[in-house]
Chain A
Amino acid sequence: NAGVTQTPKFQVLKTGQSMTLQCAQDMNHNSMYWYRQDPGMGLRLIYYSASEGTTDKGEVPNGYNVSRLNKREFSLRLESAAPSQTSVYFCASSEAYLAGGRDEQFFGPGTRLTVL
């Protein structure tokens, strides 16, 4: 099992360029998440998908769009990159038990994005 995979691992963009970050999981998990991690800010949720066919905004959704392509794949798109989007992006997945249960999130290796 590969777990959660992300592509690319590194990316440099110029302001205004667009790109899509890809994420896939092979654990048959229902829920998937996109986070960004910045120094001093911790992990902040951008978007999540509680189940196939649904997506919801997280704490910092502005400037991003997502697609839950199928149960395995959840992509994050930057339509017009800005320097403020320079960050490390993590995708995660979880089986999503009912609230109060152990809902461990499994993280991908991350994408290090720099926007010049």
Chain B
Amino acid sequence: QKEVEQNSGPLSVPEGAIASLNCTYSDRGSQSFFWYRQYSGKSPELIMFIYSNGDKEDGRFTAQLNKASQYVSLLIRDSQPSDSATYLCAVNIGGYQKVTFGIGTKLQVIP
């Protein structure tokens, strides 16, 4: 089992819809959870960080964390074509400074 699992997609949603991206992780000791966005040919950039159970909202983005079920999700409301990118889930494994990345979910927002 991979430490951080994501569906590679592509996930296609129409413009204006809610995109839901999911991520599960294996280490119950994980404490920090990140969502990075990566446009094609570019480097990843952080869009959300969460460490407490529950929801964290930032503009059109909401991160949801459920440590008991070991999953973290990212919701993108009112999806725009500019949101089309690969979204990488990253988890701080076991208290170390390094994180483990999932393979990423490719999101396509259809105009």
Contacts and interface: CB of A to CB of B under 8 A. Distances in A.
Contact of B102 (A42, A108, A109): A42
B32 A101 contact: yes
Given A31-B97, A96-B97, A99-B95, A43 B32 contact: no
Contacts of B43: 90, 107-110
A30 B72 CA distance: 27
A45 interface: yes
Contacts of A101: 32, 51
B61 interface: no
A25 to B, nearest CB: 13
Interface of B: 8, 31-32, 34, 42-46, 49, 51, 88, 90, 92, 95-104
A25 B51 CA distance: 26
A53 interface: no
Contact of A40 (B8, B46, B51): B8
Interface string A27-53: 000010101000011111100101000
Interface of A: 31, 33, 35, 40-45, 48, 50, 58-59, 90, 94, 96, 99-105, 107-110
Given A58-B98, A99-B31, A105 B46 contact: yes
B32 A48 contact: no
A104 B34 contact: yes
A60 to B, nearest CB: 12
A15 to B, nearest CB: 26
Nearest to B4: A42
Interface centre among A48, A103, A109, A110 (most CB of B within 10 A): A103
A61 to B, nearest CB: 13
A66 B42 CA distance: 24
Contacts of B96: 99
A103 B97 contact: yes
A40 B103 contact: yes
12 contacts: A41-B103, A42-B88, A59-B100, A94-B97, A99-B97, A100-B32, A100-B51, A102-B32, A104-B49, A105-B44, A105-B99, A107-B43
B101 A104 contact: no
